[in-house]
């Protein structure tokens, strides 16, 4: 273990930890830059070189830190299996006559950080995926870093360019720094990392070309970039992404954050509410519904929503906000996300995950529009799911309103309203109140994918009123979750006439519910044939008579 191999920027991180005056080190940039692996190897060096040191790897949840750190360290350093405590995810490593400790822990909330770390006495904390933490959470975690002697305790923040906390990270580490009045800029330093810094993505290609790792790192940054994006499969994949996502995930660009669609209005702390709040606020007589973005090879995302109206005193009780008038509260309170599920499996899961007392209170179920009319067998996906749900009094799927730009705009307005009304009255200006509408949107802590998706959605540079599609054929969770949320909100809260496809889908499902499957099938065929007749075509658009 004394000959632990570090890539150049991993070696730079070790040098900053040991010698730089900064106490908070940011390591951020593109995806696949060996940030997590580098943190593991650097922590091993520190454990051996500083006998008795206590350091911690922290992520948002237990599954993440076990998979990406605890198990990974055991694989890379098999000798540590003899010193591993599997239940508590810790390594007690003998070094220099003392015991160094490498821990792997998690923090799901601010309260979790206070409970787990407030009495901590840790010399180094590596916070992985720091973009998923608020600055308040990071500041609280920093209080657990303490130590005496020649080694200065430090917090190392590892992050990608997106997530709920990225704007605060940008303030400290970006090109135009903004610090709080009591912060010392010299306490912060930054290492910008890129996927082409990680030789492992190109190792097979280097061997095929008769080249070595030393050759690779002897090249200029530009030469390694070209090799990575033309020879390495992962590099070619990143280089083929949409421009806005390419700038974020490949180039690790701070400027890519300028394109965040909800960047100005999304207040994570205001939108996030405890599960008991998001479910408890919806009363038995209030509206409830589900929404789904179907995917069999892509992710299939389903969320449960409700809507209620609260008086100012009820808003104070449930949400903790002081407001001058009643508000309509839209609550997204449950989710189920999976892939490689059949329609029958999904239907059974939806029934299982909906409490019995709630099933008949669900009034509508907006579903992926493209699934209506597509038939791989006798039944469509919505028909199969609806047949199962109907047995339990739950609604049949209906064609979701797929109006993209109005849907994103609706989400924008709801999040902006939430941001404004969550602002304390003494900080809320008259202009802010005049701008705010009366409908807000809260999201349960049980829906982490929704909360993580919203800040990473990027504006389409060719159409600024739309969100750029990021998948290009790949299964991207954020896009599937975003479409699901948009279907659920736009279909239930959006204004305007129902699109023809929605009306047609509802008519079809009504026939199916009556058991007249063949009638529905032939009605659909006739509908499609009618739309294809020449007299119904005007400049490529369907004309209604």
Domains contained in the chain, CATH given: 8-193 (3.40.50.300), 200-259 (no CATH), 268-514 (3.30.420.280), 516-545 (no CATH)
Place of tokens 């990473």: 456
Instruction: Select, from the ranges 133-147, 195-209, 500-514, 517-531, the one with the highest average predicted confidence (pLDDT).
Output: 195-209
> Do 90 and 102 touch, CB atoms closer than 8 A?
yes
Supply the pLDDT for residue 339: 85
Across 32-38, average pLDDT: 97
**Cα 197 from Cα 219, distance rounded (Å):** 11
Residue 504 has pLDDT above 60, yes or no: no
* 327 three-class SS: strand
Q: What percent of the chain has pLDDT over 90?
A: 71
Residue 33 has pLDDT above 80, yes or no: yes
* Nearest partner of 23 among 162, 152, 163, judged by Cα: 152
**Cα 135 from Cα 159, distance rounded (Å):** 13
Supply the pLDDT for residue 81: 92
> Do 338 and 262 touch, CB atoms closer than 8 A?
no
> Do 287 and 307 touch, CB atoms closer than 8 A?
yes
**Cα 499 from Cα 165, distance rounded (Å):** 38
Supply the pLDDT for residue 6: 96
Supply the pLDDT for residue 475: 45
Place of tokens 């006559």: 97
Return the minimum-mean-pLDDT range out of 5-14, 109-118, 289-298, 514-523: 514-523
Supply the pLDDT for residue 541: 35
* Nearest partner of 435 among 213, 207, 228, 265, judged by Cα: 265
Return the minimum-mean-pLDDT range out of 150-159, 177-186, 213-222, 377-386: 377-386
Residue 521 has pLDDT above 80, yes or no: no
Identify the band that residue 473 occupies on the pLDDT scale cut at 50, 70 and 90.
Answer: very low
Across 111-127, average pLDDT: 90
Residue 213 has pLDDT above 70, yes or no: yes
Residue 281 has pLDDT above 90, yes or no: yes
Supply the pLDDT for residue 508: 56
The per-residue pLDDT for range 164-205, each reduced to its tens digit, is 888 899 999 999 898 988 999 999 999 999 999 999 999 999
Identify the band that residue 264 occupies on the pLDDT scale cut at 50, 70 and 90.
Answer: confident
Across 482-505, average pLDDT: 76
Identify the band that residue 538 occupies on the pLDDT scale cut at 50, 70 and 90.
Answer: very low
Label residues 504-533 b or e (16+ Cβ within 10 Å = b).
bbeebbebbeeeeeeebbeebeeeeeeeee
Q: What is the mean pLDDT of the chain?
A: 88
Identify the band that residue 540 occupies on the pLDDT scale cut at 50, 70 and 90.
Answer: very low
Supply the pLDDT for residue 102: 97
Residue 542 has pLDDT above 50, yes or no: no
Q: Torsion angle, CA of 283/164/473/409, rounded to 10 degrees?
A: 60
Supply the pLDDT for residue 515: 53
Identify the band that residue 50 occupies on the pLDDT scale cut at 50, 70 and 90.
Answer: very high
Residues 6+ apart with CB under 8 A from 77: 1, 44
Residue 103 has pLDDT above 60, yes or no: yes
Identify the band that residue 543 occupies on the pLDDT scale cut at 50, 70 and 90.
Answer: very low
**Cα 129 from Cα 134, distance rounded (Å):** 11
Q: What percent of the chain has pLDDT over 70?
A: 87
> Do 303 and 451 touch, CB atoms closer than 8 A?
no
Supply the pLDDT for residue 539: 35
The per-residue pLDDT for range 60-75, each reduced to its tens digit, is 999 999 999 999 999 9
Supply the pLDDT for residue 46: 97
């Amino acid at each position: 273990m004394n000959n632990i191999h570090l890539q150049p920027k991993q070696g730079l991180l070790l040098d900053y930890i040991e010698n730089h005056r900064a106490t908070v080190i940011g390591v951020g940039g593109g995806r696949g830059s060996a940030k997590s692996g580098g943190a593991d190897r650097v922590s091993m060096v520190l454990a051996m070189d500083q006998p008795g040191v206590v350091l911690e790897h922290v992520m948002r949840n237990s599954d993440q830190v076990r998979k990406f750190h605890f198990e990974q360290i055991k694989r890379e350093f098999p000798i540590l299996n003899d010193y591993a405590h599997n239940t508590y995810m810790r390594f007690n490593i003998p070094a220099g006559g003392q015991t160094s400790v490498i821990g792997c822990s998690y923090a799901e909330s601010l309260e979790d950080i206070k409970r787990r770390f407030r009495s901590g006495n840790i010399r180094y904390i590596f916070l992985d995926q720091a973009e998923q933490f608020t600055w308040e959470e990071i500041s609280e975690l920093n209080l657990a870093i303490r130590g005496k002697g020649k080694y200065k305790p430090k917090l190392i923040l590892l992050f990608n360019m997106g997530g709920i906390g990225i704007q605060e990270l940008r303030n400290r580490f970006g090109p135009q720094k903004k610090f709080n009045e009591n912060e010392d800029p010299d306490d912060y330093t930054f290492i910008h990392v890129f996927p082409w810094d990680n030789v492992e993505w190109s190792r097979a290609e280097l061997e095929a070309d008769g080249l070595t790792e030393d050759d690779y790192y002897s090249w200029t940054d530009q030469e390694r970039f070209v090799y990575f994006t033309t020879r390495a499969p992962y590099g070619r994949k990143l280089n083929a992404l949409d421009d806005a996502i390419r700038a974020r995930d490949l180039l690790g660009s701070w400027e890519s954050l300028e394109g965040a669609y909800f960047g100005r209005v999304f207040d994570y702390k205001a939108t996030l509410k405890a599960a008991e709040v998001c479910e408890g606020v919806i009363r038995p007589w209030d509206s409830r519904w589900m929404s789904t973005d179907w995917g069999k090879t892509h992710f299939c995302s389903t969320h449960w929503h409700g809507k209620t109206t609260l008086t100012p005193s009820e808003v104070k009780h449930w949400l903790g906000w002081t407001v001058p008038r009643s508000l309509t509260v839209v609550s997204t309170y449950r989710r189920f996300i999976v892939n490689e599920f059949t329609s029958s499996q999904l239907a059974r899961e939806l029934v299982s995950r909906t409490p019995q007392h709630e099933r008949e209170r669900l009034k509508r179920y907006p579903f992926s529009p493209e699934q209506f009319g597509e038939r791989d067998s006798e039944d469509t996906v919505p028909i199969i799911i609806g047949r199962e749900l109907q047995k339990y009094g739950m609604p049949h799927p209906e064609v979701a309103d797929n109006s993209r730009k109005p849907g994103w705009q609706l989400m924008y307005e709801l999040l902006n309203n939430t941001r404004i009304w969550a602002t304390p009255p003494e900080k809320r200006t008259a202009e802010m109140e005049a701008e705010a509408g009366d409908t807000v949107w809260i999201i349960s802590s049980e829906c982490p994918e929704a909360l993580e998706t919203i800040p990473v959605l990027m504006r389409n540079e060719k159409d600024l009123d739309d969100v750029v599609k990021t998948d290009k054929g790949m299964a991207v969770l954020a896009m599937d979750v975003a479409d699901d949320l948009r279907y659920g909100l736009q279909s239930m809260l959006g204004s305007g006439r129902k699109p023809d496809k929605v009306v047609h889908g509802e008519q079809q499902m009504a026939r199916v519910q009556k058991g007249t499957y063949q009638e529905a099938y032939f009605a659909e065929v006739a509908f499609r044939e009618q739309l294809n007749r020449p007299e119904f075509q005007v400049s490529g658009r369907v004309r209604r008579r």
